[in-house]
Amino acid sequence: MVSLETLSIVFTGLSVSLAAFYYISTLRNAQRTRELTLKAQEQAVETRQAQLFMQLYNRWQDMDWAWLRPHLMTKPSSYEEFWEKLNNDLEFSKAVNDMVGFLEGLGVIVKEGYLSMRLVALMWAGVTRMFFENFIDPFVERMREETGYPRGWSETEYVCRELIKYMDEHPELKT
């Protein structure tokens, strides 16, 4: 016959085994839930990035490139020429301001991590680099000094420099 003490040991062993099994099952379930939540969050980020990208793309498409292109293709020979055109040629000024306005917004969005630099590089690399090299890089520091606006065009400069760095790291995207 089985003693009461033996039954007590067997039941204790079974109880501990069942508790361990239950604990392990609960941990696995929690891990699966975390993985699914993380995957859903990643998909939501990708969806938001795609929506944001499409909004920027639509804004880009709405810009009048037939009108903008002639004003943005020729690099001024000096800061004085650039400043003169910026202040006295309304069409040039509007073209530069339209481009800077777009790039300022893009810079903030990229800096805050809402849009990947890869998407920027795939979509806007050529014209952004050309605009930076012709109008921003040669003149922005002097413009900031003369206007007393130390953050003038700062997000434009940021996104352009980051784009160039990204393109240097990814030569397959060279423009």
Task: Write the pLDDT tens digit of every residue in 74-131.
Answer: 899 999 999 999 999 999 999 999 999 999 999 999 999 999 999 999 999 988 999 9
CB 68, CB 99: distance < 8 Å: yes
Name the least confident of 18-22, 112-116, 166-170: 18-22
* Average pLDDT over the chain, rounded to an integer: 90
pLDDT score, position 5: 83
Structure tokens at 12: 């204790």
Q: Please indicate, yes or no, if residue 56 is contained in any of the structural domains.
A: no
Cβ atoms of 52 and 114 within 8 Å: the answer is: yes
Q: Are residues 72 and 127 in the same domain?
A: yes
Q: Report the distance separating Cα 137 and Cα 123, nearest Å.
A: 21
Same domain, yes or no: 88 and 24: no
110 lies in the same domain as 29:
no
Predicted pLDDT at 14 = 85
Global pTM reads 0.74
Residue 17's pLDDT band (cuts 50, 70, 90): confident
- How many residues are recorded in the chain? 175
Are the CB atoms for 156 and 107 separated by under 8 Å? yes
Q: What is residue 170's three-state secondary structure?
A: coil
Of the chain, the percentage scoring pLDDT greater than 90 comes to: 58
Residue 174: band (very low, low, confident or very high) from pLDDT cuts 50, 70, 90: confident
Do 70 and 109 lie in one domain? The reply is yes
**Do residues 117 and 110 make contact, with C-beta atoms less than 8 angstroms apart?**
yes
Token pair listed for 70: 């002639």
| Average confidence (pLDDT) over 126-145 | 94
CA separation for the pair 65, 1 (Å, rounded) = 96
Residue 114 token pair: 């809402």
pLDDT of res. 114: 92
Considering the domain architecture, whether residues 23 and 74 belong to the same structural domain is answered as: no
Domain-embedded: residue 147: yes
Domain total in the chain = 2
Q: Are residues 71 and 146 in the same domain?
A: yes
Kindly state the tokens that stand for 144. 């900031």
d(CA 67, CA 107): 24
Query: What is the domain extent for residue 39?
Result: 1-44
106 close to 151: Cβ distance less than 8 angstroms:
no
Average pLDDT over residues 65-78: 84
Amino acid identity of 138?
A: P
pLDDT, residue 40, reads 85
Per mean pLDDT, which of 45-54, 60-69, 121-130, 149-158 is the most reliable? 149-158
Provide the 10 A C-beta neighbour count for residue 162: 16
Give the pLDDT band of residue 11 (cuts 50, 70, 90).
Answer: confident
pLDDT confidence of residue 141: 96
